[in-house]
Structures are given as structure tokens and as C-alpha cells.
């Protein structure tokens, strides 16, 4: 495509040379070259961008053979709903350019009575027991969120909450969060239970890749290709961590179950894309 366009450009320039002086021709050639180069660059740029979007929301033959399935199709909330609700509040959750956006509470328009509309976590309709989950995430400066799993909707709703009770892969701006963070609050830890070791998140506003492996009693959290958190359910060590945590008031919290995957509704802007899961036998 580019050689053809450049050839056409040379032809036009030669015509101008025939009818104009050298000085004028140089100016015309410069202008034409600029527009031809810009047009070619813009054309190829669009093509590449389109291919990236397509690959993020499609599965290769190898992906399918390996058991991967999409949790998000890049254009709809098919397969998702709100915890404790059948609908999804658009004031807090939307899709922008193939990305799920959790809208910051401060940006939500109040109702006529001055109160904010009800908010809630975003939850998969399906449940999963043993799985590997991958996802990309991006947090706003000073922001806080998370991806939860092993979530019982019934247990969460019983406690009068529209926010999930479950294991949480912590997502947070470690550097700019307005309060001092404890080790059990940093990025990619098992929130309030197991700290992350050697986690190197990219700064707020940049995309990070997350991965959760949950098979049998074994759990792992990965960040940007590195395993940073690991734990074993049902061990004296984990039981000790649970009883010291804020979750100890929920005796069934650490029980392994078919649970929902949940994107947390916190106060801040956060974005998710490229969510895929596969069942581990």
C-alpha cells in the first residue's frame, strides 16, 4: 500500500516540476510528502489498533484447546450482574472502548433527594471451583479496588451487603494511597490474610496483568508475570491468619466452594479488560 502511494506522490511532483520553478517545487514536494506520510502512518496505525482489540476478545485455537473461555466480550455485560441484583447500575459501571470502567463515586450524579444511587459489586453469573483467571487492570491515582473469588452471594447478602464476601486479589495505588498501607493491604496480596512478596506493580494509570490460580486448597496470586502470593487452605498457618483477620466473624468465609468472580465496587476509578478463565481439573 505504502509504495503505491509514494509512487503516486512522485508522479504528482514530476508534473509540478514541469510547470513550476525549482524553488516552488521544493515547497510543494515537502507539503505533499508530509501529507502522504501522515496518511500512510494513520492508515497502518488504525489497522494495528483494530487487530489488538480483536485479539483481546477472541480465543485462538490453542486457547480453546487449553480450556480458556472469555469472561468479557469487550462490548457487553453478558454473563455478569450485580451482587444481590439482576441489573447493573450504569451510574457506576460502563464499557468504554472494550474496557470495563468502574466509575468513581465522586463522579456519580446524585438523585433528586441528594443521595447517591445504590452501588454494588459486579459479579459473574456463573460460579467456579478450581480455575485459573487472568485479567488486566488499571487503577486511578490514589485508588483502591480488587478482584474477589470464592464468593458466596448468599453469605454476602445475608449480612445485608451489596458488596461481596470472598477472597480478594488486592488492587491499589501503593505509592499514592492517602493512608499508610499495612503489608496485608498492598497490591496482589490476599487482602487482610496473606502478604504479597516482591510485587512490582506499574504506576497508577498504567495497565498491569493479574493472574489467580485456585486449585484444591492451593491458591496463587501473580502480578505482571511473577508469582507474589501463595497459600494453602485448611492448614494451621492459614487458620491462624483467618482467626486474626477481620473475617473471623464469618465462620464459613474460608470454606472452599463454587464461588462467583467479582470486580469490586470501591470509591475510585478502576478499569478491567482481557478477562479469561479456564477450569482446572
Percent of the chain with pLDDT over 90: 75
Q: CA-CA distance, 265 to 262, in Å (whole number)?
A: 9
Domain span at residue 86?
61-279
Whether the per-residue pLDDT at 6 is higher than 70: the answer is no
Q: Which of 64, 97, 87, 101 has the alpha carbon at shortest distance from 276?
A: 64
Whether residue 192 sits in one domain with residue 159:
yes
Whether residue 155 sits in one domain with residue 96:
yes
Q: CA-CA distance, 72 to 94, in Å (whole number)?
A: 13
**What are the tens digits of pLDDT across the range 214-262?**
999 999 999 999 999 999 999 999 999 999 999 999 999 999 999 999 9
**What are the tens digits of pLDDT across the range 171-230?**
999 999 999 999 999 999 999 999 999 999 999 999 999 999 999 999 999 999 999 999
Whether residue 164 sits in one domain with residue 138:
yes
**What are the tens digits of pLDDT across the range 109-124?**
999 999 999 889 999 9
Whether residue 128 sits in one domain with residue 35:
no
Check if the beta carbon of residue 133 is closer than 8 Å to that of residue 212: yes
Contacts of 21 (CB under 8 A, 6+ apart): none
Whether residue 91 sits in one domain with residue 47:
no
Single residue among 39, 56, 73 that ends a domain in this structure = 56
Whether residue 203 sits in one domain with residue 119:
yes
Q: CA-CA distance, 139 to 43, in Å (whole number)?
A: 31
pTM of this structure = 0.81
Whether the per-residue pLDDT at 276 is higher than 90: the answer is yes
Amino acid at each position: 500500500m505504502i509504495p503505491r502511494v509514494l509512487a503516486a506522490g512522485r508522479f504528482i511532483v514530476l508534473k509540478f516540476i514541469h510547470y513550476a520553478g525549482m524553488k516552488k517545487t521544493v515547497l510543494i514536494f515537502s507539503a505533499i510528502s508530509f501529507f502522504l506520510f501522515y496518511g500512510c502512518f494513520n492508515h497502518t496505525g488504525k489497522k494495528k489498533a483494530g487487530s489488538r482489540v480483536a485479539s483481546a476478545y477472541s480465543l485462538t485455537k490453542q486457547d480453546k484447546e487449553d480450556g480458556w473461555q472469555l469472561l468479557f466480550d469487550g462490548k457487553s455485560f453478558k454473563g455478569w450482574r450485580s451482587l444481590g441484583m439482576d441489573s447493573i447500575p450504569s451510574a457506576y459501571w460502563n464499557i468504554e472502548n472494550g474496557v470495563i470502567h468502574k466509575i468513581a463515586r465522586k463522579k456519580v450524579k446524585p438523585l433528586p433527594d441528594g443521595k447517591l444511587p445504590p452501588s454494588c459489586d459486579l459479579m459473574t453469573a456463573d460460579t467456579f471451583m478450581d480455575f485459573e483467571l487472568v485479567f488486566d487492570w488499571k487503577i486511578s491515582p490514589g485508588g483502591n479496588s480488587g478482584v474477589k473469588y470464592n464468593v458466596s452471594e448468599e453469605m454476602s447478602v445475608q449480612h445485608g451487603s451489596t458488596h461481596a464476601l470472598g477472597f480478594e486479589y488486592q488492587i491499589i495505588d501503593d505509592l499514592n494511597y492517602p493512608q499508610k498501607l499495612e503489608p496485608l493491604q498492598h497490591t496482589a496480596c490476599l487482602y487482610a490474610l496473606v502478604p504479597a512478596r516482591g510485587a512490582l506493580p506499574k504506576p497508577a494509570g498504567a495497565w498491569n496483568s493479574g493472574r489467580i490460580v485456585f486449585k484444591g486448597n492451593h491458591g496463587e496470586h501473580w502480578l505482571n508475570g511473577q508469582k507474589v502470593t501463595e497459600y494453602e487452605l485448611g492448614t494451621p498457618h492459614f487458620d491462624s491468619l483467618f482467626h486474626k483477620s477481620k473475617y473471623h466473624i464469618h465462620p464459613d468465609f474460608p470454606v472452599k466452594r463454587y464461588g462467583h468472580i467479582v470486580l469490586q465496587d470501591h470509591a475510585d476509578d478502576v478499569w478491567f479488560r482481557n478477562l479469561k478463565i479456564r477450569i482446572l481439573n
